[in-house]
Amino acid sequence: MKPSVTLVDSSQGPVFLPYLGAGRVLARLRALEKADRPLKLLKPAQTIPVFLVAPTTMDRICPPERGKCVEERALREIYRRNLGEDQALGKPLDFLRDVAPWDPEAEAARRRLEEVQLHDCGFEVMGVYLKAGHPLLGTKDPTIVLCPERIEDWVRGVGAPVDLATHTVYYHELGHALMDTGPHGPYGTIWGRVTEEALANWIAAQAFRDPAEKDWVTKLMAHQPLEYRAYRHLEGPLLSDWDFITPREELPRVRLAMWRDHKALGGDPAYFVQLADRLLERVAHLEVDRGKLTGKIG
């Protein structure tokens, strides 16, 4: 059973329809489900409808404000001022204190994140997951919306195959569907946005096993905003001694499971506040300043 794809008003939609109907779209997801550490994306792909819309329609469904992102230079200044260059990478924290609301490290992370602002960085939304559908599409249930024109623009800046870029955005939105936190949940916070976008990109990257495809996906994601690029640091130990005894390849899955059930931490977001803080810290200090980015977001 292939994804249900509906062309709304995208001029490039007819070209993109075969991309989402290709057998390898679901073949990759079936392979993920059969892996030793499976990710269950096949059912969402078979049950959540996809709509292909023009940029103007995407802006009506998902206002341009959603395209705002963390401004890189301002973020680096925040961490230089608060931590100093020598302390930028921090030290492992005690795991029990990671989830305690009185943890001074968590409070420091909160204060830093309060300084982080979203700016108009020139990025445009390529895809969106809607937990409760949208009246414009006549849906009330989970829905995925893609904008082919913007995906095509993203590809043009990187040179990647258009079908592979389409699949990358689609898998990213399936990742949001898997987490299913909704627009009025923790995603509305800086720490929630960073955590979820990093995890959604990590999920999308897992779908690709072919080395050539993985290389293209890495290049594509390098042309996304900072909070999306943070996915590359999810496999590193960031917070605690517990992080350091967990196999690196398991850390993103553990964090994904915790994020999907963050209330299991007593309803306090301290762990994810610190996770987002450390992810931003890594990107701000360890990645090369590439100047002004050109790309899109999903």
pLDDT digits (tens, 9 = 90+) for 205-250: 999 999 999 999 999 999 898 899 999 989 877 766 566 677 777 8
Can you tell me the distance from the alpha carbon of 100 to that of 270, in angstroms, rounded to the nearest whole number? 7
Q: Is residue 292 part of a domain?
A: no
Which pLDDT score is estimated for 268? 62
Q: Is residue 291 part of a domain?
A: no
Q: Of the ranges 65-69, 100-104, 121-125, 190-194, which one carries the lowest mean pLDDT score?
A: 100-104
Question: Is residue 256 within 8 Å of residue 222, measured between CB atoms?
Answer: no
Range of the domain at 45: 5-286
Q: Is residue 124 part of a domain?
A: yes
Higher pLDDT, 64 or 145: 145
Mean pLDDT of the 116-130 span: 88
Q: Is residue 10 part of a domain?
A: yes
Q: Is residue 294 part of a domain?
A: no
Q: What amino acid occupies position 247?
A: P
Residue 65's Cβ-count burial label (10 Å; 0-12, 13-18, 19+) is exposed
Q: Is residue 177 part of a domain?
A: yes
Question: Is residue 248 within 8 Å of residue 236, measured between CB atoms?
Answer: yes
Domain count, the chain: 1
Higher pLDDT, 154 or 289: 154
Q: Is residue 267 part of a domain?
A: yes
Which pLDDT score is estimated for 90? 42
pLDDT of 292 strictly over 50: no
Question: Is residue 193 within 8 Å of residue 227, measured between CB atoms?
Answer: yes
Mean pLDDT of the 82-100 span: 43
Higher pLDDT, 111 or 181: 111
Q: What is the mean pLDDT of the chain?
A: 82
Pairing of strands 118-119, 69-70: antiparallel
Q: Is residue 36 part of a domain?
A: yes
